[in-house]
A and B are shown apart, each in its own frame.
Chain A
Amino acid sequence: MKYNTTVPIYLQIMDRIKKDIVTEVLPKGERISSVRVLAEQFEVNLNTMQRACSELEREGVIFTQRGVGSFVTNDEAVLNALKEKMSGSLVKTFVSEMKELGYSENEMYEILKKELKK
């Protein structure tokens, strides 16, 4: 995974895992690898990975069963919220950048419609 080195790495890892959960690369209820394995996978150190996992846990995206392992949450509400938040931020960037280019609301509708019909 390529990192943007100007943003805290644990945040980038969290975003990546959340994306995997939303796209069901990691389905709900799925067991996730141990912190150590993940650290190797993401090529970061253990402390960074640990931080990413505990933040995810704090947000309720994953949960840990003592002595068993960590799992993706089964809570639909949390999963939907994740998806909504992600699409929300995509749309926000789209709109703000289109505004910067000088497009009006109606023009944006038209462009979107055109793109969707492709």
Chain B
Amino acid sequence: MNKIVSVKGLNKKINKKQILNNLSFEIEKGRIVGLLGPNGAGKTTLLKILMNIYHKDSGHVEICGLPLGYETKQHISYMPENNHLFPWMKINDAIQYYNDMFSDFDIKRADELCVILNINKEENISSLSKGGKERLLLMLTFARNTNLYLLDEPIGGIDPLTRKKLIKTIFSTANGECTILISTHQLYDVETLLDDVLFLHNGNLILLDSAEHIREECGKSLEEYYMEVFENA
């Protein structure tokens, strides 16, 4: 079973607006895939559908060979765009909360990640900065041992130094077993990390290709290629 995500003819409307338009693609196991596109392209909606938070209008979605549902959620570690944790919690409470919620949560790994990402476990969640919240969510997301990680804009508010450490952490987690789908605008930072890129524009899939193939064929960096594609889109 090499296809970890398989999407066929996916449609989604929100308030009569077509957000995703007949999307079909597959993601292979062990790949790190960048989900790229301008604002409003449908990236977050797509991730939420994979996570079964939004219901699809039509089409077929399989995760690890299973149709969307309760079971598929267990295979996915999802980092949402917004902070969903209770503001009265301390970071330590959040770790315990995740530990209770997910059977694949690894407390040891959480501790390691706290050190790497410079997280003080006694701090209150409500007093965290934007970058602090993102670091916390990343720590919680990657402390789970699972097959598929969905990251929605994970590094927007993180300083360059932590970002570098973080990107290294993402590498070491991606040990060839797990798959990461990451939506981001910080293309430059993840340029060397991505295996494949998926370009979304107004709900249409305009490209799914391997990063090295783009460099080889066009002699362009992903960022340059992105500019070219979306300027003419």
Contact = CB atoms under 8 A, between A and B. Distances in A.
Given A43-B192, A45-B194, A7 B219 contact: yes
A47 B211 CA distance: 11
Contact of A8 (B171, B193, B212): B212
A45 B32 contact: yes
Contacts, number: 58
A5 interface: yes
Interface in A13-71: 36, 39-40, 43-48, 51
A10 B198 CA distance: 20
A7 B192 contact: no
A8 B172 CA distance: 21
Interface residues of B, number: 25
A89 interface: no
Interface stretch (B4-12, B16-24, B140-148, B220-228): B220-228
Contacts of B220: 6
B215 A9 contact: yes
B193 A6 contact: no
A34 to B, nearest CB: 11
Contact of A45 (B193, B219, B223): B193
B171 A39 contact: yes
Contacts of A51: 212
Interface in B136-195: 167-168, 171-172, 174-176, 191-195
Of listed B32, B171, B195, residue having the most chain A CB within 10 A: B171
B231 interface: no
Contacts of B221: 5-6
B60 to A, nearest CB: 27
Given A46-B30, A47-B31, A48-B212, A9 B192 contact: yes
A45 B168 CA distance: 9
A5 B215 contact: yes
Contacts of B30: 46-47
Given A40-B168, A48-B212, A5 B191 contact: yes
A85 B31 CA distance: 34
A40 B170 CA distance: 10
B195 A47 contact: yes
Nearest to B32: A45
B187 to A, nearest CB: 10
Nearest to B218: A6
B172 A40 contact: yes
B216 interface: yes
9 interchain residue pairs of minimum CB distance: A5-B221, A8-B212, A8-B215, A46-B176, A6-B221, A8-B216, A5-B191, A47-B195, A44-B192
Interface of A: 3, 5-10, 36, 39-40, 43-48, 51
11 contacts: A3-B191, A3-B192, A5-B223, A6-B215, A40-B171, A43-B167, A44-B192, A45-B174, A45-B192, A46-B171, A51-B212
Given A6-B215, A9-B211, 20 more contacts: A3-B191, A5-B191, A5-B223, A6-B220, A6-B221, A7-B215, A8-B212, A8-B215, A9-B192, A9-B212, A9-B215, A40-B171, A43-B192, A44-B193, A45-B171, A46-B171, A47-B30, A47-B195, A48-B192, A48-B212
